[in-house]
Amino acid sequence: MRAVVYEQFGQLPEVAEVVDPVCPPNGVVIAVEATGLCRSDWHGWMGHDTGIRLPHVPGHELAGTIAEVGSGVGSWVVGDRVTTPFVCACGTCEPCIRGEQQVCDNQFQPGFTHWGSFADLVAIDRADVNLVRVPDDMSMDTAAGLGCRFSTAYRAVAQLGRVRDGMQVAVHGCGGVGLSAVMIAAARGARVVAVDVAQPSLDLALLLGATAVVDGSRRDVPQAVADLTGGGAELSIDALGSIETLHNSLRCLRKRGRHIQIGLLAGEDDRPPVPMGLVIGSELEVLGSHGMAAHTYPEMMAEITDGTLEPDRLIKDRIGLDEVPARLARLGRPGEGAGGITIIRP
């Protein structure tokens, strides 16, 4: 099969012919029809993820058609249209038994711990636990954007954030996951302040339902959010992942507000300074959000099917495999991911 491969971290990947994946006994091989280009793939390529072994094929947001089924799979057949969360679970550990597969003790992640979807084919283990059926009326491009950015935002906003009508919400960083969070929160009736340094992302945030936007390069972000929300956000989400956005998110909250960290601070500091005096004095809640379990997808899928959510509006362009190496390398530039999601069609 053709795949995007890199032999060394930071060295420009190449499109090459590589061996086809072997179908796991409890898994499937998927013919990839669409896959997302995400900044997390750039972090992996730069060596910020300790689970990657070289040589490596990145890609963790995917949708396609099952091409081969393992002998131990009971729920899926060749030809089924599927997607999968970027956190794939074992189904048997304690978190999995509790229904919390997104924090599985034995998780595997296509594109990180295993070869991923920047390829013609990708293997997914434990298919009965990890696959999600793609409705016939949903495009593969739309489905591919769900596995990481949209589902992670959905869990942060709907499941952890418990966003409700009239709630004051701030979203810091309007890449794919931040814009998804804006759309999902606005669809629940929240008043959303979106923060970014790229004007195309701020413009799209307004189109997706943000009440107001803040250019983080020009204003005191915590004060701007406080002014726009009448005293501070009730919920604030760091969808980018930097010390600056982490601090801005915490400092823009009103007392007893909640902060949710989605963006990884990989490559900056694995022990970032957190203003714990503020957290204690204002009784702030600090939560992490790490993907979404496959069995919780139906509610999100139903909201997409009925038109409440429109993740296809986040897609800004579509490219082929040959364009991926250069586009992946560019994701390290400030503002390169602005304005929506890029979909790869192998």
Residue 268 belongs to a domain with what CATH number? 3.40.50.720
CA distances to 138, 240, 246, 316, 322 from 212, rounded to whole Å, are 30, 18, 20, 22, 38
Which residues in the chain show pLDDT less than 70? 266-270, 335, 337-338
Query: pLDDT value at position 203?
Result: 94
Name 253's bridge partners.
Answer: 233
Residue 87 and residue 163 share a domain: no
Give a yes or no: residue 300 inside a domain. no
Q: Is residue 234 part of a domain?
A: yes
- Specify the number of domains making up the chain: 2
Residues 126 and 253 in one domain: no
Tokens representing 326 are 């250069």
**CA separation for the pair 292, 312 (Å, rounded):** 19
Same structural domain, 34 and 123 = yes
In angstroms, the CA 104 to CA 92 distance is 9
pLDDT digits (tens, 9 = 90+) for 27-73: 999 999 999 999 889 989 999 888 899 999 999 999 999 999 999 99
- Looking at the DSSP bridge assignments, the partners of residue 30 are 66, 122
pLDDT of residue 111: 96
Contact 191, 253 (CB under 8 A): no
Q: Are 130 and 124 in contact (CB under 8 A)?
A: yes
Q: Is residue 175 part of a domain?
A: yes
Kindly state the DSSP code that residue 34 receives in the 8-state scheme: E
Same domain, 93 and 57: yes
How far lies 117's CA from each of 89, 112, 136, 200, 228, in Å? 17, 10, 21, 28, 41
The pair phi, psi for residue 96, each rounded to 5°, is: -65, -40
Half-sphere exposure of 282 (CA within 13 A, CB side): 21
Q: Report if residue 305 sits inside a domain.
A: no
In this structure, the answer to whether residues 276 and 316 fall within a common structural domain is: no
Residue 52 lies in a domain: yes
Q: Are residues 179 and 139 in the same domain?
A: no
CA distance 62 to 272: 31
Q: Is the Cβ–Cβ distance between 82 and 132 less than 8 Å?
A: yes
Same domain, yes or no: 140 and 205: no
Q: In this predicted structure, what is the pLDDT of residue 96?
A: 98
Q: What is the span of the domain harbouring residue 99?
A: 2-144+310-344
CA distance 295 to 299: 10
Nearest to 263 by CA among 140, 141, 129, 171: 171
Q: How far apart are CA 177 and CA 150, in angstroms?
A: 6
Question: pLDDT value at position 50?
Answer: 86
How much is the mean pLDDT over the chain? Answer: 94
- Domain identity same for 187 and 71: no
The CA-CA-CA angle for residues 251, 261, 39, to 5°, reads 120
- Contact of 188 with 214, CB cutoff 8 Å: no
| Residue 295 lies inside a defined structural domain of this protein | no
59 and 158 in a single domain? The answer is no
pLDDT in tens, 259-286: 999 988 865 556 788 999 999 999 999 9
- The beta strand positions in 262-338, using DSSP E, are 285-288, 315-319
Question: Which two three-digit tokens encode residue 188?
Answer: 């629940």
Does residue 293 lie within any of the structural domains? Answer: no
CATH number for the domain harbouring residue 316:
3.90.180.10
Q: Is residue 117 part of a domain?
A: yes
Q: CB within 8 A of 225, min separation 6: which ones?
A: 170, 193, 195, 214, 232, 233, 236, 248, 252
Q: What are the phi and psi torsion angles at 255 (to 5°)?
A: -60, 140
129 and 189 both lie in a single domain? no
Same domain, 57 and 102: yes
User: In this structure, are 90 and 23 located in the same domain?
Assistant: yes
